[in-house]
Amino acid sequence: MSEFKLGKRSLEELKGVHSDLVAVVKRAIALTVQDFSVHDGIRTLEEQKKLVQSGASQTLNSRHITGHAVDLVPFINGKLRWEWNPIYNIAEAVRMVAKEKDIPIRWGGAWDIVLTETEESTEDLVAEYVARRRKAGKRAFIDGPHFELPKSKYQ
């Protein structure tokens, strides 16, 4: 077990988020080797519009609006850090506990697959996703802190 636990702000962000996703996050913080904060849970349509305008998000149909997504950002030396190596570790912890709970998770590091159906390292999953997008002539919009419950099972 890690010594990490969710702070007050993280718990606040989880309000209104689907209970299956909350269960995964709460278990993940206990097992992860990398501390994290819940940076975004529920979002209003207004907040989402601003994110799309700024280029930070690509869709108005965000799973954050419906309570099916969270952003888990590495918390290092008292600061939130959007860095890939710690993000991979968080994604590994999320995958492990979600599999344990049989809850499917889609990850912003590789949008076109279901994270919980994979075995390879999360770093490889991102590299392969980017390669697939390039091959298709498309840009890869990767969002490592983003985890969501897939629409195929959660409307």
Binding positions for Zn ion, rule: CB under 5 A = 71, 146
Q: How many CB atoms lie within 10 A of CB 111?
A: 16
User: What are the helix (H) ranges across 7-143?
Assistant: 8-13, 19-31, 45-54, 84-101, 122-135
| Residue showing the smallest CB distance to Zn ion in the complex | 146
CB of 13: closest distance to Zn ion in angstroms? 11
Within 13 Å of residue 54, how many CA atoms lie on the same side as its CB?
8
**Please, which residue, 82 or 135, has the CB nearer to Zn ion?**
82
CB of 102: closest distance to Zn ion in angstroms? 23
Toward Zn ion, which CB reaches closer, 3 or 139?
A: 139
Smallest separation (angstroms) from Zn ion to the CB of 70: 7
Shortest spacing between CB 43 and Zn ion, in angstroms: 8
Spatial distance between the Cα atoms of 2 and 4, rounded to a whole number of angstroms: 5
- Which residue, among 146, 87, 88, has the nearest Cα to 121 in the 3D structure? 88
Q: Which is nearer to Zn ion, 3 or 83 (CB)?
A: 83
Of 120, 55, 115, 121, whose CA–CA distance to 85 is shortest?
Answer: 121
Min separation Cβ 21 and Zn ion, Å = 12
Angle CA(34)–CA(51)–CA(106) in degrees, nearest 5? 50
The smaller minimum CB distance to Zn ion, of residues 103 and 147, is found at 147
- For Zn ion, the closer of residues 45 and 135 by Cβ is 45
